[in-house]
Amino acid sequence: MKFVSWNVNGLRAVMKKGFTDVLDELDADFVCIQETKAQPEQIESYTDNYPYQYINSAKRKGYSGTMVLCKKEPLSVKYGINVPEFDDEGRIITLEYPEFYLVTVYTPTSGDGLMRLDYRLAWDEAFGNHLKSLDKPVMVCGDFNVANDEIDVPYPDMMQGTAGFSDEERESFKENLLSSLVDTYRVLHPTKIQYSWWSYRGQARQNNVGMRLDYWLVSNDLKDKIVDSKILDDVYGSDHCPIMLDIDI
């Protein structure tokens, strides 16, 4: 089965940049989208190829938000994690299927000067507990707003302590997520340098000065079922590119 995750940085904006053509070309079984920045009534239906569509929008308009497009109907759908302080921004959707749970997440950034770091670390713990509470193998994807390894950023010494590459965020990612899940990209590409996000400033994407912030993580039980895990950095339309997981499940 093929799964795609993409932080589109505004669904209405990416719709004008060939979004549906990308979906048609990739022809994934599931498409997980982060940072929709839209309310349900502002989002088009994709019923031709994806008859099942689930949306979790932020209460604040034009901000955050997640969505999942599916070819197969889930057994259940859960929005958020039942923690009020974390559930107002539409950042999590959990779908249940007979063999697995599929979770998409848009993790909050720590912000300039790590001003939101405490909130971010509390989020990581709450989200990790949510994943550990699920009673089937888990596949979780999205923009985690952290670069786990030094090879996931271009200048690790210079970037140390900045949002997405602080010791606190990286340790939290390892403790709350990688303690029970595996990074599918690193399973197949342990030393490859490739990014999934680039700033809009300073021709960062043209110069390939970015960060690997987007992941497909799966339960250890699914590690041997991974067929492929790719960063599709030839796809444009957002400051992030899509990432794809092919898994035999």
Residue 45 pLDDT exceeds 80 = no
Per-residue pLDDT reduced to its tens digit, 174-231: 999 999 999 999 999 999 999 999 999 999 999 999 999 999 999 999 999 999 999 9
The whole-angstrom separation of Cα 198 and Cα 208 is 7
Among 54, 101, 106, 185, the active-site one is: 106
pLDDT band at 1 (very low <50, low <70, confident <90, very high): very high
Quote the pLDDT of residue 204.
96
pLDDT band at 66 (very low <50, low <70, confident <90, very high): very high
C-alpha 23/C-alpha 47 separation (Å) is 12
For residues 204 and 193, what is the distance between their CA atoms, to the nearest angstrom?
15
126-136 pLDDT, tens digit per residue, is 999 999 999 99
Point out the catalytic residue in the list 143, 152, 214, 239.
Answer: 143
Instruction: Please report the pLDDT score of residue 184 as a whole number.
Output: 98
Question: Which amino acid is it at 216?
Answer: W
Q: Is 183 a catalytic residue?
A: no
pLDDT at residue 47, as a whole number: 72
For residues 64 and 89, the answer to whether their CB atoms sit within 8 Å is: yes
Q: For a pLDDT cut of 90, what percent of the chain falls above it?
A: 96
pLDDT (tens digit per residue) in 141-182: 999 999 999 999 999 999 999 999 999 999 999 999 999 999
CB-based contacts of 151: which residues, under 8 Å, 6+ apart? 191, 192, 193
Who contacts 28 (Cβ-Cβ below 8 Å, separation ≥6)?
2, 3, 4, 244
Task: Identify the band that residue 44 occupies on the pLDDT scale cut at 50, 70 and 90.
Answer: confident
Active site residue 119: no
Average pLDDT score, the chain: 96
pLDDT above 90: residue 46: no
